[in-house]
Amino acid sequence: MQNIPSVDLRDFLSGDPERKQKFVNEIGKAYEDIGFVALKGHFLDDKLVDELYTEVRNFFNLPLETKKEYEIPGIGGQRGYVSFGKEHAKGRSAGDLKEFWHFGQYVQDNPALEAEYPANVEVKELPKFNTVGKEAYQMLEKTGIYVLRALAIYLGLDEFYFDNYIKNGNSILRPIHYPPITDEPADGAVRAAAHGDINLITLLMGAQGKGLQVQNHDGEWIDAIAEPDELVINVGDMLSRHTNNKLKSTIHQVVNPPRELWGTSRFSIPFFMHPISEMKLDVLPHTIDAQHPKQYDDITAGEFLHERLVDLGLIKK
């Protein structure tokens, strides 16, 4: 029994207006209620998923001194390798029990944005790592475009409202390795402490096993477990702000496994879908009324991202 609703993107893509509207209603209601769905019918095929996991495992199995050669100072961890314990949740000092990699946008036809974003980092020891990562990035981005089109319709906006904001957006693909736990974690550290995501939406591979938990409206933690062919997709803080909390950015965490499983690694691969920096996240006027006053100050996506990277300890003020 899944604790989060399951939806099928093929309904939206079917060409049948009733099936398309069914998907819009289902995903919109889920994002108002819990902020998470499990999505079938995405653009990642099994072969690409298997290749990506193989390359990700190969990278994290490299010696630490090799991996650290790909840790780039001065860019807030936005590309390349980020070593164990560097990132912490907002409001916490204990580092999360994870190491990760960042693939960023492959900018097309926009030299200004190409100059703004850090370059992707090539791993010379693994010739397929970057090509497989790029393909997965682009298939997840393609999936996210259609999810945002459905949400635009649900919000009463033009279907293509988000398209120009996410084209060449500052999105990140983050393969994460949660290494085996060998000692009692200090200061109550967990694999990923309770947090909301920064971005518009997050598309997550690798939620087939227990670990990811979502906080419902009653403050209870429930397991978010997907089928092997599903992505877990949740609302991020940017979209929540923009919609005056109509679509909810839900607090979630990755808890440590039972002690008998401490010796096992866990891998997950989220795709954080970001818009271009200049997108205004100002609350949409039609989401404000007497019952729902404006809850957020005006801010751009770039300003908000900077604030949150400081909160996470990835860049200094």
Q: What local confidence, expressed as pLDDT, does residue 79 receive?
A: 95
User: What is the per-residue pLDDT across 140-193, written as a single tens digit (0 to 9) for each?
Assistant: 999 999 999 999 999 999 999 999 999 999 999 999 998 877 777 666 666 566
3-state secondary structure 2-24: CCCCEEEHHHHHCCCHHHHHHHH
Q: pLDDT tens digits, residue range 244-288?
A: 999 999 888 877 666 777 777 888 899 999 999 999 999 999 999
Max distance between CA atoms of the chain, in angstroms, equals: 59
Instruction: Report residue 73: phi and psi, to 5°.
Output: -70, 150
**pLDDT band with cut points at 50, 70 and 90 for residue 235:** very high
What does pTM read for this prediction? 0.90
d(CA 302, CA 68): 28
pLDDT band at 89 (very low <50, low <70, confident <90, very high): very low
Provide the pLDDT for residue 222.
85
Higher pLDDT, 258 or 24: 24
pLDDT beyond 50 at 211: yes
Q: Quick one: pLDDT at residue 167?
A: 96
Return the minimum-mean-pLDDT range out of 27-31, 72-76, 242-246: 72-76
The residue written with tokens 């090509």 in the block is 131
Q: Could you tell me the residue ranges of all domains in the chain?
A: 6-311
Q: Given CA atoms 104, 155, 309, 214 in this order, what sign does their dihedral have?
A: negative
Give the model's confidence band at 1: pLDDT under 50 very low, under 70 low, under 90 confident, else very high.
very low
- Bigger pLDDT: 58 vs 212: 58
Enumerate the β-bridge partners of residue 253.
Answer: 213
Average pLDDT, the chain: 89
Q: What percent of the chain has pLDDT over 90?
A: 66
One DSSP character per residue, 238-295 reads HHHHHTTTSS----EEEPPPPGGGTTS-EEEEEEEE---TT-B-PPPGGG--SSS---
Q: What percent of the chain has pLDDT over 70?
A: 90
Homologous superfamily (CATH) of 6-311 is: B-lactam Antibiotic, Isopenicillin N Synthase; Chain (2.60.120.330)
